Chain A
């Protein structure tokens, strides 16, 4: 595995607050990595430390194998897109994009060519003669991205660059961002608190909380197999159930939840459990099936009733009571909402044990 960025016990304190607490992880070359977490979790601090705007109190930062811990920010060759874009208000779009090339001794003609090329890629060629104040939010964002890309950075740093755009543009732009990143084969580190955005855009997600890295993984891993309760809670809606391990075999784990039992495919779990252990189970609402007829075998089946339902457009969310458990289930389709007694089905591979800190 090639590493574009490697952090080794990176630590940053503000007074007595641990903003980043011994963060150690690698960012794969040409990958799109997302730092995800609630505000104040240290994700922006970490990003800014990579850019060199903060000096670490402990630990080291490597970019493309080179230790840059003590390299000043203007010598790190990281391209950053700021949350508010930070375009130079007194320079035209062209000069904004060309700015970084001034410090890279690129000949004028070549610089112009590079600016035009990157502007073309982002579809802002027609804006080059304008001032930033004459652009819309989305256009400004493109200029900011172009300015960061034109210097061919070792790593593209994106500090919540989508948060100032309205919802529709945001979804459109993030698809585009990802496309450009793949096209150029550039490494990107993207900071966001929007879990949906993180899941949609990231090759890899680094979930952070209170300065610590909680889990690193592909979006599906993070989503379906949260390694900590915090990750499960933070990302999307999830059912968390308390259970006791009744039996562990080669193929399955038998869990008892009061009167009822649930089966888990044991191969899908990395965590080893003992019989008699108390565990927390997680299951996403879309993995909870609801039906009037008893489902086919092979599923965990519970009997229950519908307490409430909300129509949410493409899905209907049901609030259920089954076997003394409160469950949330998201059901696709626009059929007439179900009422009364129902069967609840849960695939044994969609149930997941959340490792609890002991």
Chain B
């Protein structure tokens, strides 16, 4: 009876009991932290790393824009507002992001719908095309468009014989659409796949026609996926540097202007201002994607998983989609053909005779850069995989105070445009306490931070496949956190490690904008070299080096497929 009385008292004082409860939980949490030092150490390690090599340089970059000779100053901002060219570049960036996002999302959706819900031939071919786009240099499309449709382009000048102006917003729009639709595809294909075909059958059974079933079932259920894909594409278009540098011409965007401010004028302050103007929209998109759209995903609640085949659409729909996918794929094949041809063509646009001179040139000149790229990509790929998996483990498995914050700073780097972080690195690591500029370490660390979200995502996917009770069983049988990690978690996450490593490796091999400010003659990398060559019209050399780089990346992927087979699932599209 005494206990009942006590409960009555407590329940009549709700505010008191609530307060007490929350205080108790924090005490419990703190107690747990001390009880599990391994997790605490892992957690703190991951946290410190991200604070030092991500949060700090980013903050330095943001702070630099308001740091005058004597304290706080907004002169750089007022200066920015008076310079119409810079202000215009801001609007141009937003405009380009808006139209490219719309088109890339539509193309990505049609591709995703066609390969998941339509029984058409050549699906694996289309998937292959998308994967090729995902793993190649981010400015491949820009480079080949110059070669095909530029002032001396093979198609516009050579075949059609008319001058054509590829430079400008329209050219960039097409290039960005072709570059980023695979990203949208990758997000939406997962969502479309998870729509149970039985739902469509149910709609049909209730009397809905094919178009209705699509409009009423498939489309609404894929809305969160579409939104998520669109936000992802928008972030990437905003932060893209390579394609605008090659194609934009007079249509200046923030990324290229910021680069000019540093390389042309050495004006880091104005570059920081520009970066902040870009960082703000990107940050908003990131938060929207992470905390708003991702919560809206429908969880398909069904009984047993169905093995139904997707409903076949009408012939007209099927073949129009097929033709659409085929045309887009042909465009992309044309892009890679032009790169391959360009590598063996004497002077593209003028003299189309065969030569191996470019290949020899880049073999000679490019080998150190490729060696560097391999070293950096191997080390940072490994680090990303390990750090990403441990990060995912402590965030999703251990109820640590501050796990939300770690989650946030472990996924944000994917959204932050590379050159912003690059500038942050220069500003932060060229003075004590930590001087890293002009070393290999600064590039490796930058790569690790930038690609950590990739490893983190792979780790997350792997951990979500391990039932929590398997770890609990290990603990229950007497294994501590470290022993459970070693005996159970790590062996089961082997394929997640593998996937994280391969993804990060590929991204490091082709990264441009992040490292463009960090490379030195000693530590040069192929992708900035290619961008430089292409920018100066050395298309043959640029194409040759691109082809070699692509060959390395593709063969890595193929070797991994052969060696690991089904154990490591890459680009499950």
B32 and A55: CB pair below 8 A? yes
Chain A residues with CB under 8 A of B18: 16
How far is A100 from B491 in the complex, measured between Cα atoms in Å?
17
Residue of B nearest to A96 (CB): B473
Known: A86-B472, A86-B473, A103-B478. A72 touches B492 (CB 8 A): no
How far is A57 from B32 in the complex, measured between Cα atoms in Å?
12
A100 and B477: CB pair below 8 A? yes
Q: How far is the CB of A156 from chain B (nearest CB, A)?
A: 11
For the complex, is A234 an interface residue (Cβ under 8 Å from B)? no
For the complex, is B122 an interface residue (Cβ under 8 Å from A)? no
Q: Which of A120-170 contact B (CB under 8 A)?
A: 147-148, 151
Known: A22-B7, A57-B21, A72-B35. A151 touches B477 (CB 8 A): yes
For the complex, would chain A's binding face be called helix, strand, loop or mixed by DSSP majority?
mixed
A82 and B473: CB pair below 8 A? yes
Of B467, B476, B480, the contact of A80 (CB 8 Å cutoff)? B476
Chain A residues with CB under 8 A of B84: none
Chain A residues with CB under 8 A of B331: none
For the complex, is B24 an interface residue (Cβ under 8 Å from A)? yes
Q: Which of B60-106 contact A (CB under 8 A)?
A: none
B488 and A74: CB pair below 8 A? no
For the complex, is A99 an interface residue (Cβ under 8 Å from B)? yes
Chain A residues with CB under 8 A of B470: 86-89
For the complex, is A287 an interface residue (Cβ under 8 Å from B)? no
Chain B residues with CB under 8 A of A88: 470, 473-474, 487-488
Most chain A beta carbons < 10 A, residue from B467, B470, B478: B478
B476 and A84: CB pair below 8 A? no
Chain A residues with CB under 8 A of B219: none
| Count of B interface residues, CB-CB < 8 Å | 28
Interface string of B147-180 (1 = CB under 8 A from A): 0000000000000000000000000000000000
B478 and A151: CB pair below 8 A? yes
Chain B residues with CB under 8 A of A82: 469, 472-473
For the complex, is B52 an interface residue (Cβ under 8 Å from A)? no
Q: How far is the CB of A69 from chain B (nearest CB, A)?
A: 10
For the complex, is A104 an interface residue (Cβ under 8 Å from B)? yes
B469 and A86: CB pair below 8 A? yes
How far is A220 from B479 in the complex, measured between Cα atoms in Å?
40
For the complex, is A311 an interface residue (Cβ under 8 Å from B)? no
A13 and B21: CB pair below 8 A? yes
Q: How far is the CB of B15 from chain A (nearest CB, A)?
A: 12
How far is A151 from B492 in the complex, measured between Cα atoms in Å?
24
Chain A residues with CB under 8 A of B21: 13, 16, 57
Chain A residues with CB under 8 A of B487: 88, 99, 102
Of A57, A79, A90, A102, the contact of B476 (CB 8 Å cutoff)? A79
How far is A57 from B24 in the complex, measured between Cα atoms in Å?
6
Interface string of B287-304 (1 = CB under 8 A from A): 000000000000000000
Residue of B nearest to A99 (CB): B477
B478 and A78: CB pair below 8 A? no
| Count of A interface residues, CB-CB < 8 Å | 36
Chain B residues with CB under 8 A of A13: 21, 25
How far is A251 from B557 in the complex, measured between Cα atoms in Å?
87
Q: Which of B445-481 contact A (CB under 8 A)?
A: 467, 469-470, 472-480
Residue of B nearest to A151 (CB): B477
How far is A70 from B34 in the complex, measured between Cα atoms in Å?
11
A83 and B469: CB pair below 8 A? yes
Of A22, A80, A99, the contact of B3 (CB 8 Å cutoff)? A22
Q: How far is the CB of B477 from chain A (nearest CB, A)?
A: 3
A84 and B478: CB pair below 8 A? no
Q: How far is the CB of A50 from chain B (nearest CB, A)?
A: 11
Q: How far is the CB of B8 from chain A (nearest CB, A)?
A: 12
For the complex, is A38 an interface residue (Cβ under 8 Å from B)? no
Chain A residues with CB under 8 A of B28: 55, 57
For the complex, is A77 an interface residue (Cβ under 8 Å from B)? yes
For the complex, is A9 an interface residue (Cβ under 8 Å from B)? yes
How far is A99 from B469 in the complex, measured between Cα atoms in Å?
15
Interface string of B12-30 (1 = CB under 8 A from A): 0000001001001100100
Interface string of A54-81 (1 = CB under 8 A from B): 0101100000000000101111011110
A104 and B492: CB pair below 8 A? no
Of B3, B25, B491, the contact of A57 (CB 8 Å cutoff)? B25
B35 and A99: CB pair below 8 A? no
For the complex, is A51 an interface residue (Cβ under 8 Å from B)? yes
For the complex, is B31 an interface residue (Cβ under 8 Å from A)? yes
How far is A22 from B5 in the complex, measured between Cα atoms in Å?
12
A86 and B467: CB pair below 8 A? yes
A80 and B483: CB pair below 8 A? no
For the complex, is B36 an interface residue (Cβ under 8 Å from A)? yes
Q: How far is the CB of B462 from chain A (nearest CB, A)?
A: 13
Residue of A nearest to B492 (CB): A90
Residue of B nearest to A144 (CB): B473
A84 and B25: CB pair below 8 A? no
Q: How far is the CB of A149 from chain B (nearest CB, A)?
A: 11
Q: How far is the CB of A29 from chain B (nearest CB, A)?
A: 21
B3 and A9: CB pair below 8 A? yes
Chain B residues with CB under 8 A of A53: 472, 475
Chain B residues with CB under 8 A of A58: 24
A73 and B475: CB pair below 8 A? yes
Known: A57-B24, A99-B487. A78 touches B476 (CB 8 A): yes
B479 and A103: CB pair below 8 A? yes
Q: How far is the CB of B36 from chain A (nearest CB, A)?
A: 7
Q: How far is the CB of B392 from chain A (nearest CB, A)?
A: 19
Q: How far is the CB of B401 from chain A (nearest CB, A)?
A: 14
Residue of A nearest to B472 (CB): A53
Q: Provide 18 A-B residue pairs closer than 8 Å at the C-beta atoms, listed in order of the A residue.
A: A24-B3, A57-B24, A57-B28, A58-B24, A72-B35, A77-B478, A80-B476, A84-B467, A84-B469, A87-B470, A89-B470, A89-B492, A99-B477, A99-B487, A102-B487, A103-B478, A103-B479, A103-B483
**A-B CB proximity, top 6 nearest:** A100-B477, A103-B478, A86-B469, A86-B473, A82-B469, A80-B476
Q: 17 more A-B contacts (CB under 8 A) besides A89-B470, A148-B477?
A: A13-B25, A51-B472, A55-B28, A55-B32, A58-B24, A70-B31, A74-B479, A74-B480, A75-B478, A84-B467, A84-B469, A86-B467, A88-B470, A99-B474, A99-B479, A99-B487, A102-B483
Q: Which residues of B contact A (CB under 8 A)?
A: 3, 7, 18, 21, 24-25, 28, 31-32, 35-36, 467, 469-470, 472-480, 483, 487-488, 491-492
